[in-house]
C-alpha cells in the first residue's frame, strides 16, 4: 500500500507539472477523469513522456490512447503491469 | 456520327509478294468494306528507301529485305479508311500469325509526310491533290485587303484538294486583315471549323513558331496585337489562352528547339507532319510528342494546300480536345491545402469557394491529422473536391507526413483514430529523441489503416526525408511529385527513381495562408507532367 501511495504521489506531481489544473489539488483522487480537470492531447503526450522518463519504462501501445490512460488509477495499473 | 470517306495506302511487302499473298491481302481488306482504287507493282531501290519509309530497324538486313523484291501497293478508300486500314493490317498479321518486326506481309504508312512520299513514289499520277488524307491542319495562306480576291484564292485552294483545309494566317496578317478573315468565316458554310494564327517568338538565336487554333465562328472577336516578333513564349501563350485557343508548336526548322522548350512551355501539341521534315525527323518528333501526351498534327505549311495532311483519326482527337479544351488545356490541381481546422489561416469554406471560382479541376483539403472540416462539403457535393488529411507518422525517429485521400468522407471513427494516432506519435517521437537508434516505423500501419477506410496513401514532400523513402515507399500508394520547392530536376529525379514503385503521383502547394489564389507554379508543372497525374485523377473519377 505504501508503494502505491508513493506512485500516486509521484504521478500526481507529474500531472501537476504537465497541465494547468482547473480544480484544487485536494479534489483530485485516483479515479478523477484527467480530461475533466484540464488535460488536453498535448498535455497527455507530455504526461506520458514524463512518466516514461521518470520510471524508465515504455507504455504498451494500447495505453497511449487517452481513454485507456485517463485517470491516475489507470496510469498506476499500467505501471504495475510494467513491474514498477 | 458517320465517319468520312478517306484514302489509305496498303503496301504488300516483299515477303507477302513472294509468297503470293497479295490477292489474299486485297480480299481481306475488301471483305472489310475497304474498296480498291488502284494498284501498282514496283521495286523500291536502296537509294530512295530511307526517303520514303520509316523504320526503327534500319540495319542492313532491313534494307536488303525491303529492296529484295517488288512490292504491291494498293490505294484504298473507305469510311475512316486510314485508321481502318491500319487496324485491319494488325488483324491480318495476327491472322497469319506473323510476329516478325520486319518481314510482316504488309505495311501502312503514317499520316502526313510518309503517306505523301509513298503516294508520290507508287502513284505519282495521284498527286494532284485529290487523294489526300482527311485534313491539312497547317495550310498557311495569305490574307488580303481585297476581300473578293482573298475569298476566291481560299476557295480555289479548297477546290483543288479533297483534304479539309484549316487555314493558318500569320499574326501580322490577322492584325492587318482581321476583318476580311472574320467576314470570310462568317459567310463560310463549313461547320465546326478552325482557324490558326501563327506567332513567332525570338528567343536568343532561336525563332520559335507557335500556332494558336481558334473556333472559326468566334474569330471576329479575336484580340490580336501588331507584333511581328514576340520576345517571350509565355506572352504568346497568355494571348492564346485569353482568346480561348489551343497552342501548338508550328513547323520549327530545328526540332530540338521544340524538345528543349517544350519542358518549359507545355503546349498542347505540335506540327509533326510537314513537307520540310524528313521522315526520320517526323518520327523522332512524333515519339517525343506522344510520350509527353501532346497532339501530333500536320499540314502543308506553305507547300501546295492539302499536299501533306493527317488522317481523320488524328484530326478527330484534336477536334474533341478542342471542344473540351477548357478542362484539359490548363489542368488546375492542388491536392495539399491546409485550413483553420489545423494550422492554416483560411476557412475551409473560403478555400472551397475560391477553388470553385478559379475552376479547379481537382483540389483537396488536407489538414493535419483531422477530417473534421470535411463532412459539411459532402452534402453540398462540391465536384472535384477530394477529401484528405495529412497524417503524422514516424520512421526511424523522423516525422513523416502521409497524405490520405478518400473518395467520400470516412466514418467518424476515423477521426477518433487520427486523434489517437497523433497522440501516439507524440509519445513515440519523444522516445525517439531520447533513444537515437529507434527503429519505430508507423508508416506501414497508417497506410494500411487508410486503405481500410477506402483511401489511398501518398507520401507528402518526399524530399524532406529523401533517405528514408526506400523504407516506406512500398507500403504507400505513391508520393507528391509536384511541390513548390521541387525544381524540374527534382521532379524528374522522383520519376526516374520511383516511377515504377508509385501507383499514384500528386501535386500540391501545401498552402497554409489566407487569400488562396491558386499556385501558378504547381499549375504550370501539372500541365508539363499531366500524364503522371492521370492515374490519381482517374482513381477519383475526375475528367
Chain A: closest CA distance from residue B400 (Å) = 18
- Write out chain A residues lying below 8 Å of B434, CB-based: 53
Cβ contact (<8 Å) for B427 and A41? no
How much is the pLDDT for B326?
46
Q: Is the pLDDT score of B192 beyond 80?
A: no
Which pLDDT band, with edges at 50, 70 and 90, does B210 fall under? very high
Cβ contact (<8 Å) for B431 and A59? no
Name which of B419, B422, B430 is nearest A49 (Cβ-Cβ): B430
A42 touches chain B (CB under 8 A): yes
Mean pLDDT of B26-38: 93
Chain B: closest CA distance from residue A77 (Å) = 19
A40 touches chain B (CB under 8 A): no
Chain B: closest CA distance from residue A29 (Å) = 24
Distances from the Cα of B163 to the Cα of B89, B151, B154, angstroms: 24, 18, 13
A23 touches chain B (CB under 8 A): no
Name which of A52, A53, A64 is nearest B423 (Cβ-Cβ): A64
A35 touches chain B (CB under 8 A): no
Mean pLDDT of B369-379: 88
3-state SS assignment for residue B324: coil
How much is the pLDDT for B330?
56
How much is the pLDDT for B146?
94
Mean pLDDT of B201-219: 88
- Write out chain B residues lying below 8 Å of A53, CB-based: 434
Return the residue matching grid coordinates 475560391.
Answer: B354
Nearest chain A alpha carbon to B434: A53
- The tens digit of pLDDT for each residue in B114-166 reads 899 899 999 999 988 899 999 999 999 999 999 999 999 999 999 999 999 99
Which pLDDT band, with edges at 50, 70 and 90, does B98 fall under? confident
Which pLDDT band, with edges at 50, 70 and 90, does B452 fall under? very high
- Write out chain B residues lying below 8 Å of A49, CB-based: 426-427, 430-431
Cβ contact (<8 Å) for B431 and A52? yes
Mean pLDDT of B414-438: 86
Mean pLDDT of B84-104: 84
Choice between A13 and B378, residue whose per-residue pLDDT is larger: A13
Q: Is the pLDDT score of B451 beyond 50?
A: yes
Cβ contact (<8 Å) for A52 and B430? yes
Mean pLDDT of B493-502: 93
Q: Is the pLDDT score of A4 beyond 70?
A: no
How much is the pLDDT for B382?
66
Mean pLDDT of B372-397: 86
Chain B: closest CA distance from residue A47 (Å) = 9
Distances from the Cα of B357 to the Cα of B315, B377, B537, angstroms: 32, 16, 20
- Write out chain A residues lying below 8 Å of B399, CB-based: none
Name which of A41, A52, A61 is nearest B419 (Cβ-Cβ): A41
- In terms of Cα–Cα distance, which of B134, B130, B132, B120 is closest to B48? B120
Spatial separation of the C-alpha atoms in residues B329 and B335, rounded to whole Å: 19
User: How crowded is the C-beta side of A73, counted as CA atoms within 13 Å?
Assistant: 7
Mean pLDDT of B338-366: 92
How much is the pLDDT for B312?
93
Choice between B53 and B400, residue whose per-residue pLDDT is larger: B400
- Residue to mutate among B423, B431, B432, with most A CBs inside 10 A, is B423
Is residue B282 a contact partner of residue B231, using CB atoms and an 8 Å limit?
no
Name which of B420, B422, B427 is nearest A49 (Cβ-Cβ): B427
The mean predicted confidence, pLDDT, of chain A is 89
How much is the pLDDT for B332?
85
Q: Is the pLDDT score of B462 beyond 90?
A: yes
Q: How many CB pairs under 8 A join A and B?
A: 32
Choice between B380 and B247, residue whose per-residue pLDDT is larger: B247
Mean pLDDT of B76-95: 91
pTM above 0.95, yes or no: no
How much is the pLDDT for A2?
43
How much is the pLDDT for B437?
67
How much is the pLDDT for B121?
93
Residues present in chain A in total: 84
CA B498 to chain centre: 22
- In terms of Cα–Cα distance, which of B88, B7, B44 is closest to B309? B7
Which pLDDT band, with edges at 50, 70 and 90, does B436 fall under? low
Cβ contact (<8 Å) for B424 and A53? no
Least confident of B183-192, B332-341, B347-356, B459-468: B183-192
Chain B: closest CA distance from residue A66 (Å) = 7
How much is the pLDDT for B295?
87
Chain B: closest CA distance from residue A56 (Å) = 11
Nearest chain B alpha carbon to A44: B423
The mean predicted confidence, pLDDT, of chain B is 89
Q: Is the pLDDT score of B251 beyond 70?
A: yes
- The tens digit of pLDDT for each residue in A26-57 reads 999 999 999 999 898 889 999 999 999 999 99
A26 touches chain B (CB under 8 A): no
Chain B: closest CA distance from residue A11 (Å) = 17
Name which of A44, A52, A53 is nearest B423 (Cβ-Cβ): A44
Least confident of A7-11, B179-183, B324-328, B415-419: B324-328
Mean pLDDT of B254-274: 85
Spatial separation of the C-alpha atoms in residues B400 and B394, rounded to whole Å: 5
Mean pLDDT of B311-327: 79
Mean pLDDT of B91-107: 81
A44 touches chain B (CB under 8 A): yes
Which pLDDT band, with edges at 50, 70 and 90, does A8 fall under? very high
- Residue to mutate among B427, B428, B441, with most A CBs inside 10 A, is B427
How much is the pLDDT for B324?
67
Question: CB under 8 Å to B399, separation ≥6 — which residues?
Answer: B392, B393, B425, B429
How much is the pLDDT for A5?
55
Query: Quick one: what percent of chain B has pLDDT higher than 70?
Result: 97
Least confident of B18-32, B50-64, B171-185: B50-64
- Write out chain B residues lying below 8 Å of A61, CB-based: 424
Spatial separation of the C-alpha atoms in residues B184 and B149, rounded to whole Å: 11
Choice between B386 and B440, residue whose per-residue pLDDT is larger: B386
Is residue B491 a contact partner of residue B529, using CB atoms and an 8 Å limit?
yes
How much is the pLDDT for A1?
42
Mean pLDDT of B70-75: 94
Amino acid at each position: 500500500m505504501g508503494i502505491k501511495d508513493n506512485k500516486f504521489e509521484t504521478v500526481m506531481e507529474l500531472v501537476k507539472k504537465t497541465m494547468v489544473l482547473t480544480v484544487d489539488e485536494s479534489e483530485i483522487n485516483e479515479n478523477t477523469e484527467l480530461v475533466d480537470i484540464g488535460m488536453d492531447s498535448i498535455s497527455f503526450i507530455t504526461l506520458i513522456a514524463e512518466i516514461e522518463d521518470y520510471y524508465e519504462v515504455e507504455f504498451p501501445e494500447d495505453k497511449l490512447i487517452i481513454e485507456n490512460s485517463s485517470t491516475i488509477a489507470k496510469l498506476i495499473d499500467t505501471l504495475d503491469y510494467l513491474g514498477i | 456520327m458517320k465517319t468520312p470517306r478517306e484514302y489509305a495506302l496498303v503496301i504488300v511487302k516483299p515477303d507477302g509478294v513472294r509468297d503470293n499473298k497479295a490477292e489474299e491481302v486485297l480480299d481481306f481488306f475488301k471483305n472489310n468494306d475497304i474498296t480498291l482504287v488502284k494498284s501498282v507493282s514496283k521495286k523500291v531501290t536502296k537509294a530512295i528507301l530511307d526517303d520514303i519509309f520509316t523504320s526503327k530497324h534500319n540495319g542492313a538486313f532491313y534494307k536488303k529485305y525491303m529492296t529484295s523484291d517488288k512490292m504491291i501497293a494498293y490505294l484504298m478508300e473507305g469510311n475512316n479508311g486510314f485508321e481502318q486500314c491500319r487496324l485491319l493490317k494488325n488483324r491480318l498479321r495476327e491472322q497469319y500469325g506473323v510476329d516478325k518486326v520486319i518481314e510482316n506481309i504488309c505495311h501502312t504508312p503514317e499520316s502526313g509526310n510518309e503517306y505523301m512520299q509513298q503516294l508520290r513514289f507508287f502513284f505519282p499520277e495521284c498527286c494532284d491533290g485529290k487523294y489526300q488524307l482527311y485534313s491539312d491542319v497547317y495550310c498557311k495562306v495569305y490574307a488580303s485587303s481585297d476581300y473578293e480576291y482573298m475569298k476566291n484564292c481560299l476557295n480555289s485552294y479548297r477546290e483543288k484538294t479533297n483534304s479539309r483545309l484549316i487555314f493558318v494566317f500569320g499574326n501580322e496578317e490577322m492584325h492587318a486583315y482581321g476583318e476580311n478573315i472574320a467576314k470570310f468565316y462568317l459567310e463560310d458554310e463549313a461547320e465546326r471549323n478552325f482557324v490558326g494564327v501563327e506567332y513567332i517568338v525570338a528567343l536568343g538565336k532561336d525563332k520559335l513558331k507557335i500556332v494558336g487554333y481558334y473556333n472559326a465562328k468566334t474569330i471576329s472577336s479575336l484580340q490580336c496585337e501588331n507584333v511581328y516578333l514576340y520576345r517571350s513564349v509565355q506572352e504568346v501563350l497568355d494571348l492564346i489562352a485569353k482568346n480561348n485557343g489551343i497552342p501548338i508548336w508550328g513547323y520549327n526548322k530545328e526540332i530540338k528547339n521544340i524538345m528543349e522548350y517544350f519542358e518549359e512551355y507545355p503546349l498542347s501539341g505540335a506540327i509533326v507532319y510537314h513537307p520540310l521534315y524528313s521522315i526520320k525527323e517526323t518520327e523522332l518528333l512524333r515519339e517525343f510528342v506522344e510520350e509527353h501526351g501532346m497532339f501530333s498534327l500536320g499540314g502543308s505549311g506553305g507547300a501546295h494546300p492539302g499536299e501533306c495532311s493527317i488522317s481523320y483519326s488524328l484530326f478527330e482527337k484534336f477536334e474533341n480536345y478542342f471542344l473540351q479544351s477548357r478542362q484539359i488545356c490548363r489542368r488546375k490541381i492542388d491536392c495539399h491545402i491546409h485550413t483553420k481546422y489545423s494550422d492554416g489561416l483560411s476557412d475551409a469554406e473560403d478555400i472551397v469557394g475560391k477553388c470553385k471560382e478559379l475552376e479547379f479541376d481537382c483540389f483537396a483539403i488536407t489538414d493535419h491529422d483531422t477530417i473534421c472540416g470535411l463532412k459539411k462539403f459532402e452534402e453540398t457535393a462540391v465536384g472535384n473536391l477530394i477529401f484528405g488529411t495529412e497524417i503524422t507518422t514516424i520512421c526511424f525517429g523522423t516525422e513523416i507526413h502521409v497524405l490520405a485521400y478518400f473518395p467520400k468522407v470516412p466514418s467518424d471513427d476515423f477521426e477518433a483514430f487520427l486523434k489517437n494516432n497523433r497522440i501516439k506519435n507524440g509519445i513515440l517521437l519523444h522516445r525517439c529523441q531520447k533513444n537515437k537508434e529507434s527503429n519505430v516505423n508507423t508508416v506501414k500501419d497508417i497506410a494500411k489503416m487508410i486503405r481500410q477506410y477506402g483511401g489511398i496513401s501518398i507520401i507528402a514532400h518526399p524530399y524532406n526525408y529523401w533517405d528514408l523513402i526506400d523504407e516506406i515507399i512500398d507500403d504507400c500508394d505513391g508520393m507528391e511529385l509536384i511541390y513548390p520547392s521541387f525544381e524540374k530536376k527534382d521532379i524528374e529525379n522522383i520519376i526516374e527513381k520511383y516511377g515504377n514503385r508509385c501507383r499514384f503521383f500528386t501535386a500540391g502547394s501545401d498552402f497554409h495562408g489566407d487569400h488562396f489564389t491558386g499556385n501558378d507554379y504547381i499549375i504550370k508543372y501539372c500541365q508539363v507532367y499531366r500524364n503522371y497525374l492521370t492515374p490519381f485523377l482517374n482513381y477519383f473519377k475526375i475528367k
